[in-house]
Structure 1
Amino acid sequence: MPGTYPALPGGGHGAGPAAIPGDLLAELDRLLAPSVRSLRRSCAVDLTFGGSLAPGSRDAITIRHLDGHLGHTLRDLQVRAGYGLGGKVFATGRPLVVRDYFNTGHIVHAYDRAVAPERIETVFAVPIRTEAMVVGLLYLAQRDDVAIGDRVVARAVEHTRRIERDLAVGVEVRRRTAAYDEAAARDQRAVADARRDLDEAIAMVDDPHARTRLRQVSQRLHRITAGDDDGAPQPATADVLSARELDVLGLVATGAANGDIAAELGLRPNTVKAYLRSIARKLGAANRTHAVSLARDAGLLP
């Protein structure tokens, strides 16, 4: 009877003003499907079912997972705080049992129409908690008016605690992953800002060799933010561009179009495009004009 079973620590559904994070509810919903099945097997009862808080709600549990059910009248049922056995457990934060379900006076019979097709007589409901908040419910039910023994109670409560521990671990993993991703994005933004400052400073350096070295540093910062830097030293810019690429880039610097460059060097237009793509990749240039500017900064072009 109510009061016979151990209370979980803390208050009921009203504790704490903050809304429940959606990722926590999604994680709980993911855990409930296998938990409902294993609970029925371990406790050897006729029916188990359960659910979590409806998204955006603090006073309604939605039953989504069932095992051993005869029909679907309980599926997607919303159990509100204070109504029915589950609603009483939701409101008080205490596991409770009722026998002779339809005639008990201990609960508000708001869901009898949904419960009746399952022919339930004895029901035991356990709250699932996170910190001081009830976020879900688990039910065990028998179709006979039989007592729920202490062993079954202990198994059900321990099963619920395991869900709570798994829920806490899953949420913490997601929190730490999100924090890591946020920190990584923040670091990448900082490196990108530093690279922009460096590029501006390079334009004020007169020594071509110093400009070449600084440009290599800038290019490595770009590779770091793009995630493809292996830490290996990069060759000097003068060694990166082949003689043919320098020929192509020299004609680009005069304003020659791709067709003119192809005719001048005896190349196919597509080959000229391939050279330009290679030049841009090696110099870290955004376009052909930028490539000419970088090459001049490095002393490769007059």
Structure 2
Amino acid sequence: MPGTHPALPGGARGGTSAAVPGDLLTELDRLLAPSVRSLRRACPVDLTFGGGLAPGARDAITIRHLDGHLGHTLRDLQVRAGYGLGGKVFATGRPLVVRDYFNTGHIVHAYDRAVAPERIETVFAVPIRAGETVVGLLYLAQRDDVAIGDRIVARAVEHTRRIERDLAVAVEVRRRTAAHDEAAARDHRAVADARRELDEAIALIDDPHTRDRLRQVSQRLHRITTAGDDAAEPVADGTLSARELDVLQLVATGAANGDIAAELGLRPNTVKAYLRSIARKLGAANRTHAVSLAREAGLLP
């Protein structure tokens, strides 16, 4: 229930200047769910609630988490910068408290219809920051017109700082993990490219001993680039790749597709794909013919 939004006194404005990354907001939402509950136990107060920016939003906080509530009128309420107590905190970036909520003149009463069923009298709101940007709000409320003491204020602020620290750590972990994965992917591609070049060079070597040694190197590189993954569909380039030779060597021993898959850590369908590629490259009619042609070409002992 967003309510209406009259012009702000003095032309006040708020909100963030740039969109906040979606993964940060997802992590904030995850942290808020238990934090709202633990904050109410720690203070204690009648009601706690809070929320963060919706992905892509710049000027509104969505209340998603509540504890001690009487109904659901506050859930999914969008609090725009400058409107209501939370909107004022969002706009200024400072914690604020009001007593006699419905009669105070210090806020724009844009959300009274949503707040009324909760019978709130005293409310304290704290901004949640990521760096210099307000990305969420945390509220404490009493249903009596009583002061929220310094001890409760200190606990609420410390609770919020803890959320901010946890959020910063989680985002940094995600950033470093993403950077590591990107670097690993680059290294993987570089090794795969080097192996392809090596296979092309092997096809030009006449000496069997040298060719076999280089094939062993190629096979080690292949294990590095396919560790934990199924082999990709082979590419027909006129010569057998190191992995195709692995498959064909096992075919020559009489191994079935399932045995080859188990030996090389492949799926049976991947073995079939290699066999199709081998037959195409060698011009073989079947697997027995492929072994015969490979021996004639000196590819197999």
Name the structure 2 match of 1:120: 120
Decide whether the 8 Å contact of 1:84 with 1:108 is kept in 2: yes
| Secondary structure in structure 1 of the residue aligned to 2:205 | coil
Query: Which amino acid is 2:143 matched to?
Result: R
Of 286, 290, 295, 2:274 maps to 286
- Between structure 1 and structure 2, the one with the greater Rg is 1
Name the structure 1 match of 2:195: 195
Name the structure 1 match of 2:130: 130
Decide whether the 8 Å contact of 2:101 with 2:120 is kept in 1: yes
Query: Which amino acid is 1:20 matched to?
Result: V
Name the structure 2 match of 1:234: none
Q: What is the rounded CA distance, in whole Å, between the counterparts of 2:253 and 2:165 in structure 1?
A: 67
Mapping of residues 38-53 of structure 1, within 5 Å:
38-53=38-53
| Secondary structure in structure 2 of the residue aligned to 1:186 | helix
**RMSD value, Cα:** 2.9
Q: What is the rounded CA distance, in whole Å, between the counterparts of 1:298 and 1:220 in structure 2?
A: 21
Q: What is the rounded CA distance, in whole Å, between the counterparts of 2:64 and 2:265 in structure 1?
A: 54
Mapping of residues 208-247 of structure 1, within 5 Å:
208-227=208-227, 241=249, 245-246=251-252
Query: Which amino acid is 1:139 matched to?
Result: Y
Which consecutive residues of structure 1, in runs of 5 or more, have no partner in the other structure? 1-11, 230-236, 249-270
Name the structure 1 match of 2:69: 69
Query: Which amino acid is 2:110 matched to?
Result: A
Deviations 1:58-115 (A, max 9, x none): 1100000000000000000000000000000000000000000000000000000000
| Secondary structure in structure 1 of the residue aligned to 2:274 | coil
Q: What is the rounded CA distance, in whole Å, between the counterparts of 2:261 and 2:97 in structure 1?
A: 73
Q: What is the rounded CA distance, in whole Å, between the counterparts of 2:191 and 2:294 in structure 1?
A: 20
Decide whether the 8 Å contact of 2:15 with 2:81 is kept in 1: no
TM-score (normalised: structure 1): 0.77
Q: What is the rounded CA distance, in whole Å, between the counterparts of 1:221 and 1:103 in structure 2?
A: 74
Decide whether the 8 Å contact of 2:18 with 2:58 is kept in 1: no
Q: What is the rounded CA distance, in whole Å, between the counterparts of 1:149 and 1:51 in structure 2?
A: 23
Q: What is the rounded CA distance, in whole Å, between the counterparts of 1:101 and 1:275 in structure 2?
A: 75
Classify 1:300/1:138 alpha carbon distance in 2 versus 1 (closer, same or farther; 3 Å): same
Q: What is the rounded CA distance, in whole Å, between the counterparts of 2:144 and 2:252 in structure 1?
A: 89
Q: What is the rounded CA distance, in whole Å, between the counterparts of 1:90 and 1:223 in structure 2?
A: 54
Decide whether the 8 Å contact of 2:122 with 2:141 is kept in 1: yes
Classify 1:110/1:207 alpha carbon distance in 2 versus 1 (closer, same or farther; 3 Å): same
Deviations 1:19-67 (A, max 9, x none): 2110100000000011001111111100000000011101100000000
Decide whether the 8 Å contact of 2:122 with 2:142 is kept in 1: yes
Shift of 1:300: 2.6
Decide whether the 8 Å contact of 1:211 with 1:298 is kept in 2: no
Shift of 1:273: 5.3
Name the structure 2 match of 1:36: 36
Classify 1:294/1:88 alpha carbon distance in 2 versus 1 (closer, same or farther; 3 Å): farther
Shift of 1:277: 6.4
Mapping of residues 149-188 of structure 1, within 5 Å:
149-188=149-188
Q: What is the rounded CA distance, in whole Å, between the counterparts of 1:61 and 1:171 in structure 2?
A: 20
Q: What is the rounded CA distance, in whole Å, between the counterparts of 1:44 and 1:279 in structure 2?
A: 63
Name the structure 2 match of 1:251: none
Classify 1:205/1:82 alpha carbon distance in 2 versus 1 (closer, same or farther; 3 Å): same
Q: What is the rounded CA distance, in whole Å, between the counterparts of 1:163 and 1:60 in structure 2?
A: 19
Classify 1:160/1:29 alpha carbon distance in 2 versus 1 (closer, same or farther; 3 Å): same
Classify 1:28/1:206 alpha carbon distance in 2 versus 1 (closer, same or farther; 3 Å): same
Name the structure 2 match of 1:23: 23
Q: What is the rounded CA distance, in whole Å, between the counterparts of 1:37 and 1:202 in structure 2?
A: 65
Decide whether the 8 Å contact of 1:88 with 1:107 is kept in 2: yes
Decide whether the 8 Å contact of 2:43 with 2:156 is kept in 1: yes
Shift of 1:246: 3.6
Shift of 1:299: 4.8
Classify 1:273/1:40 alpha carbon distance in 2 versus 1 (closer, same or farther; 3 Å): closer
| Secondary structure in structure 1 of the residue aligned to 2:223 | helix
